[in-house]
Each structure stands twice: as structure tokens, then as C-alpha cells.
Amino acid sequence: MSVATPVYKRMIELFEAEGINTLFGIPDPNFVHMFLEAERRGWTVVSPHHEAAGGFMAEAASRMTGKPALCIGTLGPGMANMMPAIQCCLVENSPVIFLGGQRARVTERRVRRGRIQFVRQEPLIEDSVKYSGSIEYADQTDEIIREAIRRAMSGTPGPAYVEYPSHIILEDLDVPPALPPHRYRLTNQGADGDRIAEAAALIAAARHPILLVGHAVHTSRSGAAVKELADLMNCPVIQTSGGTSFIPGLEDRTFPYGFSEASIEAVVESDLCLALGTELGEPSHYGRWRHWVDNEASRKWIYVQQDPTAIGVNRPIDVPLVGDIRAVVPQLVRALKQREPSPNLAKYIRQDADQLAELAAESLTKTDGNGDVAIHTSRFVVEATQAFPKDGIMIRDGGATVIFQWTYSQCKPRDVIWNQNYGHIGTGLPYATGAMLADLAATGVSRPGMLLTSDSSFLFHIAELEVAVRRKLPLVCVVGVDNQWGLEVGVYKRTFGQGTAETGTHWSKEVRMDKIAEGFGCYGEYVTRAQDIKPAIARAYASGKVGVVHVVIDPKANSEEMPNYSEFRTWYAEGTQ
């Protein structure tokens, strides 16, 4: 039986049918009714201090839930502020639905000048989203919202934009209950059965198979199914740069591609690669160059990919499995029998564990802080990640400090959030807030979070500390401070040599992150000695407040001694691959 439903309420119902229960954004007149309705229904409704931060929060929410996420922007300047997040969602393949307020269409069609807070938004946004639509008439609400979600979740996921002009805000609709997702879009699409059988035969015949695990394994929340598959294959698991979340139970045999010696040996020796949830892009050398060159002639490829147009683009594929990871991986599990362990698996596990231990020991030999001498970034990362809380959410941010984290991190969290494809620094604090709030809304459990970042990135959206305080999140931000754009300083030095002026890369040494944090109501601590990092982190968590630990790191080491920097630069070797 249908009932009269205002447009704003119907929109909430449509999103709720998708399992969405978080809403990010600064409410403008178009959205105040929607915000109240969402709150009445028990949603988590979060107003950030900047629209871009709200978009990043929504993006992190989509990664933590495997579902679309929702963010709204005020007409005009609000949507302009949101563009960095929209661009990130496009490159990071994040299915966020952005709702933009707009004045009534009669305003747009007037022949006038001097209109207040008005710009035609759709032409500015449509090239940055998978779908752009506008609810011009109330009875279009279902079809426009469903099309936005359908496009956002189909093929390679990505953002969609829906404009919400003010002339339809309070109009009523006579509509039936909202349809569940499988009634109006393709969900959990499985692969062709014959191709599954071919894949299973290749896996059974392989002597040195590997699983190449990408970003989508985490964002689709497919870890448990992939664990079953990895157990049957009994092989190494290689992470792409985006697949840095560790699946519980597979931590010891999961190796970051290119930054782990075990990963390189496993790739070189592999005779079959089963790639899951990855674009096979530049950070993995398209699966064709560098570490893949050896044994290329005899290596078989199985590629699980939701977007059929991605098959064969970056490299030839032997068995394409077109479908949703959430459906295809269980199909493979049903088709496979238990294999004997790959011959070198135990060796790789020991090798990787030894490498991490050696890196931790090596960091102890680095210069420590004693007055004017600051902490080496490698030691900063080792100490902080050794203090990472069990079952926490790790959030990464920064330039040089992230490169140090790839090599020196001593923890293997099941949830790692960072901006790996677009390289947009400053996302860390909103990512932390959005991920933790969405996880809490989905599970009812408030898991601790650690943001490991640098001062340059932390300052982008430092106002969002207030959101974390307001929501009482168990978040500790560990900030390496070198008072410069560390990666860019390194570029100056490598380009022009030592002694060259590093224009535009340095700032005041008077900025104290811990004091700023205290002004927001956080727990703050200032650290100048490496041995004090872990105790400071422990005190921050024990305080019951959001914590900010300001760690003075060595600017020379941070800019000049980035580990595996030459490996990182191979990602950009266009023309040589």
C-alpha cells in the first residue's frame, strides 16, 4: 500500500534500502529536512568543517562497509569545496553518491545577472563522476537515485552526482516501499561456469601459484572468502599498493609487492598469478615489466574483474573471470581442492619475518633525539607501528612518511585506509573519522584508530579534530613533524644537488600540533626521543580523549633517506614499461 511521502524522505528510504546509514555534509536549506529524517531513523549524521573533508569521510565509509556512501554539499561554494573529494573518489574507485543543493530551476532559466550563490554545477562536475543527474520533477526521485547507485556500483565503482533543486524539496510522492538492490540492479554477479572450471584446472596444475590481492578485496569486504581461497591454494599472497589491508589468518604469508624481498622472489618464481580486485596498474608494473619479466613466457594469468572492458587492457589474460569478487571467489572455492603448500612458501614466510625484524633492529641504530638532533623517520615508524592497538584501524597519510611506512611498518592491520591511487595528501584525518564512524554504525563496536601522518598532511584538515572529539572517537594521531614538505625537499636535492635553496618547502618551527590539539579538547603530547613514542601513544589512548602525539623527526633523513625510493619511482616510468 502506498502512502504520501515527501521527496526528501523518499530519498532516505532509497538509500536505506542499500544498507546506507551514515550521512556526511554541512546541511543547507535543501537538506535540513533530510538530515532530521535521517537522525530520526537512527542514522549517523556527521557535519564536518569543510565539504572536502565530508567527502573524504564518506569515501572512507564506503571502504569500510562495502556499500555506497552518501555526502551532501551546499549549492555553489559547498559543491566547489567538495570537488577534491569527488576527484579522489573517481581515481580511487569509491562509490560515493554526492548530493548537491541547487536553487529552483526557474532561477537558472531567468535572463538575469547578479544572482546570489548560483552557478550551473552539473557541467563542472559531470566529467568527474560516472553519472550525473538532476531531480527535475518529484516523480523522478526513484529513477534518478537508483540510476546513481546503479552506475556507482557497476563495473569499476566510482562516484555519482545528483542535483536536488529547491523547487521539489517538499513535494509529496505516492510510492510503494523501496525495492531491495537486487530488484533494480545487478548484484553479486558470478563468473561463467566454464571459465571457473578452466581457472580451477590452471590452479591445480600450477607449481608456484600466487594470489595478487588489490584494493577491491578490502573495499568489497571479501577478506573471509579470499582467506578460504588462499588456504586452498596454499600459496603466497602478494599485496598491490592499494591492497595493504591484511586478511586475518593470512598475515604471515602476505607480502607487499616490491617492498618485501619475499614478494619479489615469489613473483619472479610464479608460474600462475590469480589477480583479485586490482587494475594491474603502474604500481604493479602492469603485471608485465620489472619483477614480472622473468618467467613471463610460462606464467599463466587468471583475472577476476567486475568491469569486462578492463580485461586484456594492461596485459594479456589466460582466463578472465568477469564478475563481482563477492560472488566469484566463492565460486572458485567450490571448484578447488586443497593443494599441497607451494614449495617455497615456508621460506618466504621466514624471509619476510626476518626482513621486518632486521628493519626494526636497523632503525634502532639511527640517530635519536637528544636536544637539537631529531628522530629518524624509520625509527618513528617502527616505534609507532609497534604500538598499534590490536584490531585497530590504521590510517596513513603523508608523502615521505608514507614511503617510510611501506618499508618499516611493524603492524599488519586488517583495515588500512589511505589515498593510494590519487596521492591526495591531507585525507588522513577525515578518512580516520569517516572510517571509524561507519565501522561503529555497522558493527556497534568502537574500534581504536591510529592515524600515522606528517605535519604537512595533518594541517590540511586539522579542523576535523573537532569532529573526532565531538563523536568521542578512540583515535590517536601520531604526527611526524619536520616543518617542511619533506618529499619535495628531496626532489630539490636530487634535481639540483645539496645547498640549493628549496623554495616554497619550509615553514615556521613554532607550530605545535599537541598544543593545537589541546585547544580542540584533545590529549596532546610532545616527543623528542624515540623511546618516548610508545609510552606517549599508550597515554594518549588511556586518556579517553582523541590524542595527538607531536613527534619531532629529522628533516634531513625524511627528505634524503626515503627507503626503496628508486622502487617507488618505477611507478612513474612511462615510456620505459
Distance of CA 386 to the CA centre of its chain: 22
Q: Which three cell numbers stand for residue 440?
A: 561503529
In the three-class reduction of DSSP (H, G, I as helix; E, B as strand; rest coil), residue 493 is classed as helix
Stretch 195-216: mean pLDDT, rounded? Answer: 97
Confidence of residue 369 (pLDDT cuts 50, 70, 90): very low
Q: What is d(CA 308, CA 289) in angstroms, rounded to the nearest whole number? A: 23
Q: What is d(CA 376, CA 389) in angstroms, rounded to the nearest whole number? A: 22
pLDDT at 308 over 80: yes
Non-local (6+) Cβ contacts of 239 within 8 A are 213, 254, 255, 256, 257, 263
Confidence of residue 229 (pLDDT cuts 50, 70, 90): very high
In the three-class reduction of DSSP (H, G, I as helix; E, B as strand; rest coil), residue 395 is classed as strand
In the three-class reduction of DSSP (H, G, I as helix; E, B as strand; rest coil), residue 27 is classed as coil
Stretch 7-16: mean pLDDT, rounded? Answer: 97
pTM assigned to the model: 0.95
In the three-class reduction of DSSP (H, G, I as helix; E, B as strand; rest coil), residue 318 is classed as coil
Report the residue count for the chain. 577
Q: Which amino acid is at 490?
A: G
CB atoms within 10 A of CB 569: 10
Lowest mean pLDDT among 299-303, 435-439, 500-504, 535-539: 500-504
In the three-class reduction of DSSP (H, G, I as helix; E, B as strand; rest coil), residue 209 is classed as strand
pLDDT at 1 over 60: no
Stretch 362-368: mean pLDDT, rounded? Answer: 80
Residue whose cell numbers read 589515498:
419
pLDDT at 401 over 80: yes
CA distances from 136 to 15, 103, 167, 224, 232 (A): 19, 11, 8, 43, 52
* pLDDT attached to residue 577: 53
* pLDDT attached to residue 3: 67
Closest CA to 193 of 201, 182, 181: 201
Q: What is d(CA 530, CA 527) in angstroms, rounded to the nearest whole number? A: 8
Closest CA to 213 of 186, 245, 232, 238: 238
Residue whose cell numbers read 628533516:
555
Confidence of residue 367 (pLDDT cuts 50, 70, 90): low
Closest CA to 255 of 117, 57, 406: 406
CA distances from 293 to 261, 289, 297 (A): 16, 5, 8
Sign of the torsion angle spanned by Cα atoms 367, 373, 377, 381 = positive
What whole-number percentage of the chain has pLDDT above 90? 84
- 125-136 burial code (b ≥16 CB/10 A, e <16): beebbbbbbbbe
Q: What is d(CA 12, CA 467) in angstroms, rounded to the nearest whole number? A: 23
pLDDT at 459 over 90: yes
Q: Could you report how far apart the first and last alpha carbons of the chain are, in Å? A: 61
pLDDT in tens, 338-357: 999 999 999 999 999 999 99
* pLDDT attached to residue 108: 77
pLDDT in tens, 32-55: 999 999 999 999 999 999 999 999
Q: Which three cell numbers stand for residue 550?
A: 607531536
- Report the DSSP pairing between strands 449-454 and 160-165: unpaired
**Average pLDDT over the chain, rounded to an integer:** 94
Stretch 296-311: mean pLDDT, rounded? Answer: 96
Q: What is d(CA 453, CA 71) in angstroms, rounded to the nearest whole number? A: 25
Rounded to 5 degrees, what are φ and ψ at 15?
-70, -35
Sign of the torsion angle spanned by Cα atoms 125, 129, 130, 136 = negative
pLDDT at 507 over 90: no
Closest CA to 430 of 441, 420, 419: 419
Closest CA to 96 of 139, 119, 128: 128
| Bridge partners (DSSP) listed for residue 523 | 547
pLDDT at 372 over 70: no
Instruction: Give the DSSP per-residue string, 538-554.
Output: HHHHHTTS-EEEEEEB-
* pLDDT attached to residue 171: 93
pLDDT at 109 over 80: no
pLDDT at 368 over 60: no
| Bridge partners (DSSP) listed for residue 475 | 449
| Helix ranges (DSSP H) in 68-156 | 77-92, 105-109, 122-125, 141-153
Q: Packing angle between helix 7-16 and helix 32-40, nearest 10 degrees?
A: 50
pLDDT at 414 over 60: yes
| Bridge partners (DSSP) listed for residue 552 | 481
In the three-class reduction of DSSP (H, G, I as helix; E, B as strand; rest coil), residue 70 is classed as strand
Walk me through the domains of the chain, giving residue ranges and CATH numbers.
3-183 (3.40.50.970), 193-348 (3.40.50.1220), 368-572 (3.40.50.970)
- 358-375 burial code (b ≥16 CB/10 A, e <16): ebbeebeebebbeeeebb
Quick check: 327 and 226 in contact, CB under 8 A? no
**Which is more confidently placed, 385 or 507?**
385
Q: Which three cell numbers stand for residue 29?
A: 536549506
Q: What is d(CA 74, CA 51) in angstroms, rounded to the nearest whole number? A: 8
